């Protein structure tokens, strides 16, 4: 079937939008290869005649960027795994179990979505400090081990699972743990994949909480380590752009390998439900 004029117009509009969106990323990559003198050159040029490949080596000697990347990876992966476990268990209870006050309890649980994270920032910090978890992995990870949004996302998806299937498993003698592990989790892979991407990206870009709970350079995450390159009077922009390019690589890899699950989770019930 041939393309209509509307299809071609839509394609051109989307292509222009994609090019505009990719512009800042192209400029960031180009700046990472520039010497400092070329950053504010006028008129500006996209590419430099003297590419500085050593910027990608210098970033690791100027700051503890390798350790910061490792910290970000550890924190993001563990938070993602914990949320997949806790949110899927809570979603199973709210979607598949029948108990008195379930809907009211879910509404109260869901009300946490309306509370800005800045409101709980100080109480969480006081609690973490009282436990002696400043500059520790548990202080960075555990406050984000649970998610109202993740529970809501998975609950909506699990409600699309036929109740007859779960009832048949119960009649056959399956326990709640067996139903959860062998039926619900395999069927919920698309929604779990979408939640994993949401959580990993959000945690990788989390700046404020790691900033106030880490004081040692060895415990800084990548985004906080990059912020230290910005000074009051001077900023090494090529080095900052170099670190930014390296920092987005894990996020791109997660999306490249998980985009099918992400799209499936958004289109097959994760935001629907009965």
Spatial separation of the C-alpha atoms in residues 267 and 190, rounded to whole Å:
9
Number of domains in the chain: 1
Reduced to 3 states (helix: H, G, I; strand: E, B; else coil), residue 174 is coil
Cβ–Cβ contacts within 10 Å for residue 78, how many? 18
For residue 237, what are the CA distances in angstroms to 25, 53, 94? 14, 14, 49
The 3-state DSSP class for residue 38 equals helix
38 located within any domain: no
Give per-residue pLDDT as tens, 82-96: 999 999 999 999 988
User: What's the pLDDT tens digit per position in 18-50?
Assistant: 888 888 888 888 888 888 778 887 787 788 777
- Above 90 in pLDDT, residue 206? yes
Structural domain contains residue 220 = yes
Residue 131 counted as domain residue: yes
Q: Look at residue 112 and tell me if it is in a domain.
A: yes
Which pTM does this prediction carry? Answer: 0.84
Strand partners, 235: 230
- Of 40-54, 110-124, 149-163, minimum mean pLDDT range: 40-54
Residue 179 lies in a domain: yes
What Cα–Cα distance (Å) separates residue 105 from each residue in 108, 112, 213? 5, 12, 32
By three-state DSSP, how is residue 126 classified? helix
Q: Which range of residues forms the domain containing residue 111? A: 53-267
Phi, psi of 235 (to 5 degrees): -135, 130
The CATH number of the domain holding residue 228 is 1.10.3720.10
- Nearest to 190, CA basis, from 146, 148, 160: 160
Residue 12 lies in a domain: no
230 has which bridge partners?
235
Structure-model confidence comparison of residues 136 and 101, the more confident one: 136
Residue with tokens 């003198």: 37
> If you average pLDDT over residues 65-77, what whole number do you get?
94
- In a domain, residue 125? The reply is yes
How many C-beta neighbours within 10 Å does residue 79 have? Answer: 23
Taking 80 as the threshold, does the pLDDT of residue 209 lie above it? yes
Residue 157 has which token pair?
């998806």
| Residue at 19 is within a domain | no
Cis before 43? omega within 30: yes
């Amino acid at each position: 079937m041939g393309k209509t004029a509307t299809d071609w117009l839509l394609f051109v509009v989307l292509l222009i939008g994609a090019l505009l969106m990719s512009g800042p990323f192209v400029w960031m990559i180009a700046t990472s290869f520039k010497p400092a003198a070329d950053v504010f050159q006028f008129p500006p040029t996209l590419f430099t005649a003297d590419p500085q490949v050593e910027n990608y080596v210098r970033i690791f000697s100027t700051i503890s960027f390798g350790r910061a990347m490792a910290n970000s990876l550890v924190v993001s992966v563990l938070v993602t795994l914990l949320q997949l476990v806790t949110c899927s268990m809570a979603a199973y209870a709210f979607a598949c179990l029948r108990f008195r006050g379930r809907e009211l309890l879910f509404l109260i649980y869901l009300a946490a979505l309306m509370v800005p994270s800045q409101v709980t920032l100080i109480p969480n910090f006081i609690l973490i400090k009282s436990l002696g978890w400043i500059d520790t992995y548990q202080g960075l990870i555990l406050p984000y081990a649970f998610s109202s949004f993740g529970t809501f996302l998975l609950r909506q998806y699990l409600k699309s699972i036929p109740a007859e299937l779960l009832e048949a498993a119960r009649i056959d003698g399956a326990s709640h743990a067996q139903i959860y592990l062998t039926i619900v989790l395999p069927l919920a892979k698309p929604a779990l994949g979408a939640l994993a991407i949401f959580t990993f990206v959000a945690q990788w870009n989390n700046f404020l909480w790691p900033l106030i709970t880490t004081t040692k350079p060895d415990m800084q995450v990548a985004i906080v380590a990059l912020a230290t390159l910005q000074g009051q009077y001077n900023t090494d922009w090529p080095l900052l752009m170099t670190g930014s390019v390296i920092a987005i690589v894990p996020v791109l890899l997660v999306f490249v390998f998980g985009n099918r699950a992400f799209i499936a989770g958004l289109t097959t019930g994760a935001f629907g439900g009965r």
